[in-house]
Amino acid sequence: MFTNFLPTTNKLKRYISSFTISQKEGAFPVKYTAFPNIRDCLAFFNHTAFQIQSDEITFRKDENHCPVIILLGRLTSPTLVTYIEPIEEISINFTPCGINYFFGIPFLEMASKSHQLLEEPKWTDFALALYSELPEKRITMLEAFLLSSLNEQKTDAMERVFNSMAAMDKLKVQELADIACMSERNFLRYFWKYFGCNPSTYKKILRFRNVLDTQYSKQTNSYCRFLLTDDYCDTSHFRKEFLQFTGCTPRQFNKSSFLPGNGNSVFRLV
């Protein structure tokens, strides 16, 4: 259902992990559960009607709709996604915090909800132009637009927070603040602003994604079993967070079917 492409421009690779294009193959409707992720996603849709709720979003084809852009906020719980029929979709999967380098306002101000429309004129005008182009030329056109929108001279504070992320899974907040040359209070403030959550929540999602993504088999589109890592205190701790982020226990999860999705994400089919 999805095909992923790496950016061809080296300058973009620091901020964008991949692009995703939807495919028309397969049986529809398709329902899957999307899990909390450390990456941010912005998606261009053409001729698509949609319905957004707090933990659910549904897409259907509608020739009367002009291109729209949907921006994902920081998911902290599982979200049900339904495609009634094949639609045209091109997604940008940003690296953690990478989206902030393409807009004049912080991520939290753009994406306070799990899903929302992006109504920035420059981007909505580009969406119209993007879907007026031939399909085989769209990714090249998108990369050129992103390069023209990239602002690597963002505030020094954001750059310092961005650079501290390399050790996010190993260090405490005060240690991360020291790397960013900030007080802990300022670090927490800027982190929330640019990442859409606090460091504690982000660490939980990162820990969960590490377990989930490393146990997935691309050959079988399945999971055998989950191995407890040193990141969790005990089995009870792991089970509690797993239930929070997937809506089911590890055993129930293993028995389901899965779909490789945007970027490195894996979705649970419903």
Has residue 48 been placed in a domain?
A: yes
Q: What is the pLDDT of residues 166-204, one digit of tens each?
A: 778 888 899 999 999 999 999 999 999 999 999 999 999
pLDDT at position 88:
95
Distances (CA, A) of 206 to 48, 80, 136, 221: 32, 20, 34, 21
Has residue 188 been placed in a domain?
A: no
Report yes or no: 61 and 82 within 8 Å, Cβ to Cβ: no
Report yes or no: 215 and 223 within 8 Å, Cβ to Cβ: yes
Q: What is the pLDDT of residues 45-64, one digit of tens each?
A: 999 999 998 889 999 999 99
Has residue 228 been placed in a domain?
A: no
DSSP H helices, 2-152, are 10-13, 107-110, 121-130, 138-149
pTM: 0.90
pLDDT at position 264:
66
pLDDT at position 194:
92
Has residue 130 been placed in a domain?
A: yes
* Mean pLDDT per 10-residue section of the chain, whose length is 270 residues: 90 94 86 91 96 91 94 92 95 93 93 92 97 96 97 80 81 91 93 92 90 81 75 84 90 83 79
pLDDT at position 261:
78
Has residue 154 been placed in a domain?
A: no
Has residue 84 been placed in a domain?
A: yes
Local structure of 36: helix, strand or coil: coil
Total structural domains in the chain?
A: 1
pLDDT at position 255:
77
Report yes or no: 247 and 32 within 8 Å, Cβ to Cβ: no
Has residue 37 been placed in a domain?
A: yes
Has residue 225 been placed in a domain?
A: no
Residue 55 domain boundaries:
2-149
